[in-house]
Amino acid sequence: MTLQEYDYARESPSKLAASCLLLALTMKNLGGWTPTLQYYSGYHSKDLHPLVKRLNFLLTYQPCDKLKAVRTKYSQRAFFEVAKIAPMDMLKLEEKLKSC
């Protein structure tokens, strides 16, 4: 979804990927940012928090209905219907990010 948003073009691809992973781990309650993830990504959890919040906001408030291809694709069973997963409440996300 970030490929369709100009605001995310300035982010480094590695930081964007790490932030997406942290958001996914948080949304699915699969643990936090481990020392191993920190070592291999090169990012501390705190460095990713602002981008994680922006990504969750992007999931929560879809900018327009014209660009539906990505959402439609990842709503299919072959992709585990990940586009149908509800975004986190911003306050709950903030709480969880503080703990990791």
pTM here?
Answer: 0.86
Can you give the residue range of the structural domain that contains 44?
A: 2-99
Kindly give the confidence (pLDDT) of every residue in the chain, 100 residues in length, as a single tens digit, with 9 standing for 90 and above.
888 888 999 999 999 999 999 999 999 999 889 999 999 999 999 999 999 999 999 888 875 666 788 888 989 999 989 888 889 999 999 999 988 7
DSSP the chain: -GGG-GGGTTS-HHHHHHHHHHHHHHHTT-----HHHHHHH---HHHHHHHHHHHHHHHHS---SS--HHHHHTTSGGGTTGGGSPPPPHHHHHHHHHH-
Dihedral (CA of 61, 63, 66, 67) sign: negative
User: What is the domain-level CATH number for residue 43?
Assistant: 1.10.472.10
Q: Which two tokens stand for residue 59?
A: 């999931």
Q: Which long-range contacts (CB under 8 A, 24 or more apart) does 64-67 make?
A: 67/4
What is the number of domains present in the chain?
Answer: 1
